[in-house]
Structure 1
Amino acid sequence: MERRSFLKKAGVAAGAGVLAACGKTESGAAAGAAASGTKIEWTLASSFPKNLDTIYGAAEVFAKRVKELSGGNFIINVKAAGEIVPGPEVMNAVKNKTVQIGHTASYYFFGTDATFAFDTAVPFGLTSRQHTAWMMHGGGMEVMREFFKQHNIVNFLGGNTGTQMGGWLKKEIKSVEDLKGLKLRIGGFAGKVLSKLGVVPQQIPGGEIYTALEKGTIDGAEWVGPYDDEKLGFYKVAPNYYYPGWWEGGANLSFYINAEEYAKLPDAYKVIVETASLEAHTDMQAKYDAKNPMALASLLGNGAKLHKFPDDVMMAAFKATQEVFAEESAKNANFKKVFDSWITFRHNQMQWFGLAEKSYADFTTANPWKP
């Protein structure tokens, strides 16, 4: 990351960001305004519809904080998917300067280069905390920034959903055989893995999934988790709700900024952008963690049927994932470079989390303490 250089160049604005992060918005805004009075107005294209307030809302949190920290001088107008470009076109919109900034999930652009998937999530990958650790302190941001530079984009952390659910299916999955011929809405790298098991992956924007399920165009779909899934109403047409979402142990969202537009920003505003992105990043995960338990209870009360993926499905998917990683690494230099950074970090994280986090979680979930 470029944090150290930002702080050296804009000490006053950095102080503003720290104050703001602690809730001292008036002091932060004043310091930010003092550091740079330049007036800038940008347009942000989101890949998400407004009714998904948690994932779409991260862009609003970001824009609000940028405005506050700049004393009202730096305005970012947030536009939902379809208002300027469709959700899957956000990357190109930023790259080509249709907009200055976007908010999206990088694995949507897997078809351009599989390396994009590392910025969001890959099968059997990192959890939310682990991904943030890799990006901020494990070399992840450095290798991803180098990759995004090829696309005229500067990327910033932009939220995380946490470990996702495995999605909604019309029929139960009892073995690997039941996957064959299944038409499943699933994004990114996971579709390539599942195709090895006979699944026919479908790329469908969030706002169109319900209709596709209702009409029978697809047999199942994954999105995020209980809070968003309840809003989208999937349980009404595909009642079998599976877990875990092994392809998204912690799905990261990103803010994309056109590299040329970013270079024009005053140094103080660059610090503001980073500060605001980190706040939005943390806020999204906190919202999902707070809202998902009640939403899951509501879904179950309305007829959703909870299922765990069978062990043979999990093992077959894990084996297929390793095969796909090896195949992609052999033909894609970008992918291999990021993978080499990522896999070492993953190994160390799983050793540590398996010791401390898992043992604690196993005990506390098995022994609930009722209010």
Structure 2
Amino acid sequence: MKRRDFLKVSATGAAVAAVASPAIAQSSPEVKWRLTSSFPKSLDTIYGGAEYLAKQVAEMTDNKFQIQVFAAGEVVPGLQALDATSNGTVEMCHTVSYYYVGKDPTFAVFAAVPFGLNARQQNSWLYQGGGNELANEFYKKHNVVGFPCGNTGTQMGGWFRKEIKTVADMSGLKMRIGGIAGQVLQKVGVVPQQIAGGDIYPALEKGTIDAAEWVGPYDDEKLGFQKVAKYYYYPGFWEGGPTVHAFTNLEKFNALPKNYQAILANAAVHTNTWMNARYDMLNPTALKRLVASGTQLRPFSNEILDACLKSTNELWGEISAKNADFKKAIDAMQAYRSDQYLWWQVAEYTYDSFMIRSRTRG
């Protein structure tokens, strides 16, 4: 190449670089957000999901997009996380949608409802069955965008001071139970109490409540419920596969560069998988420890499950008659559930049932 041609090419390349560099810089600005969690730091898996999300976002943006995570109570109380995000006090929160059924019962459908979807079915509905689109159509009315950002898997039915054998045993029982599930149990005589995670133990210890549900063996052991209640019931039929959401303020999200929006969305998907897998890893050994230390493991009777299913279907009818958003969401979820269990009974359930029986036979 002639020297004159080389200089011409070099000059052109330098000009291109001079134009391109500012464009790249503009697409990767320094962004600092605050995220408020609904959970205490001691719950390293469910609270840890927000930290994991923030770490991924930082790593994928060379630390240019940073999300500072605050535990429940550090900025606002745990059950006010969504409000703080909606009104712009913080840019994000990590919470469970069903905590906000007092605003609108539709919030529950996209997290978990009694006799709803298990974790895999929930993810299938949200990611592939139109659930996310339906959810964000609703969430937009509250000035937030929601991303599935964790799942605990099917939860336990909770800790009780006395044995619960029949529906009659539940009459007058004061129980900490969050979301719309409390309305279902109210129909069978339970007096539901909405209490944030960090406040459950003292309420159970003092006898302010007679029973409490939280998540499952790993978290429940950390919170010490086995010290103040003897009987541990299963399954938590009101949380077959509850989704934990990362909510962002709508305007703040829309103001992000498109690549940051994509990074945040993909980090949430990864966190969703991470949390579910981590609970599946941690719960078995925690359950062994609890039983070894004297916890009495008990299944809910079919009588109780049948009564609660009947109450659930009644409640859906009552709410749907006066709330079009709820009806749209619950009908979509139930239709998806029907098809999922048509398939589940053929493959998943048959296989798992055989393997469980094989394990017990040694």
* TM interval, short-chain normalised: over 0.9
Q: Which runs of 4+ in 1 moved over 6 A?
A: none
Q: How far, CA to CA, are the matches of 2:202 and 2:130 in structure 1?
A: 41
Cα offset for 1:291? Answer: 0.3
Residue matched to 2:282: 291
Cα offset for 1:354? Answer: 1.4
Alignment equivalent of 1:91, drawn from 82, 91, 100: 82
Correspondence 1:130 to 2:118:
no
Matches within 5 A, 1:47-196: 47-196=38-187
Indicate conservation of the 8 Å contact 1:35/1:268, yes or no: no
Alignment equivalent of 1:42, drawn from 11, 33, 36: 33
Q: How far, CA to CA, are the matches of 1:37 and 1:90 in structure 2?
A: 28
Indicate conservation of the 8 Å contact 2:28/2:257, yes or no: no
Cα offset for 1:251? Answer: 1.1
Deviations 1:261-294 (A, max 9, x none): 0010000001100110011110000100000000
Indicate conservation of the 8 Å contact 1:165/1:244, yes or no: yes
Indicate conservation of the 8 Å contact 1:185/1:218, yes or no: yes
Residue matched to 1:350: 341
Paired AA for residue 308 in structure 1: P
Deviations 1:313-367 (A, max 9, x none): 0000000000000101101011011112111101101111111111001000111
Q: How far, CA to CA, are the matches of 2:26 and 2:184 in structure 1?
A: 49
Q: How far, CA to CA, are the matches of 1:237 and 1:102 in structure 2?
A: 31
Q: Where in structure 1 are there 5+ consecutive unaligned residues?
A: 1-32
CA radius of gyration, larger in: 2
Alignment equivalent of 1:307, drawn from 289, 292, 298: 298
Paired AA for residue 272 in structure 2: H
Paired AA for residue 173 in structure 2: L
Deviations 1:167-207 (A, max 9, x none): 00000001000000000000011100000000000001111
Deviations 1:246-266 (A, max 9, x none): 000011100000000001000
Paired AA for residue 165 in structure 1: M
Paired AA for residue 40 in structure 1: V
Q: What percent identity do the matched residue pairs reach?
A: 53
Q: How far, CA to CA, are the matches of 2:176 and 2:39 in structure 1?
A: 16
Alignment equivalent of 1:363, drawn from 336, 351, 354: 354
Q: Where in structure 2 are there 5+ consecutive unaligned residues?
A: 1-23
Q: With the length of structure 1 as denominator, give the TM-score of the two structures.
A: 0.90
Indicate conservation of the 8 Å contact 1:241/1:307, yes or no: yes
Cα offset for 1:34? Answer: 7.4
Indicate conservation of the 8 Å contact 1:36/1:70, yes or no: no
Cα offset for 1:224? Answer: 0.3
Residue matched to 1:11: none
Q: How far, CA to CA, are the matches of 1:266 and 1:80 in structure 2?
A: 27
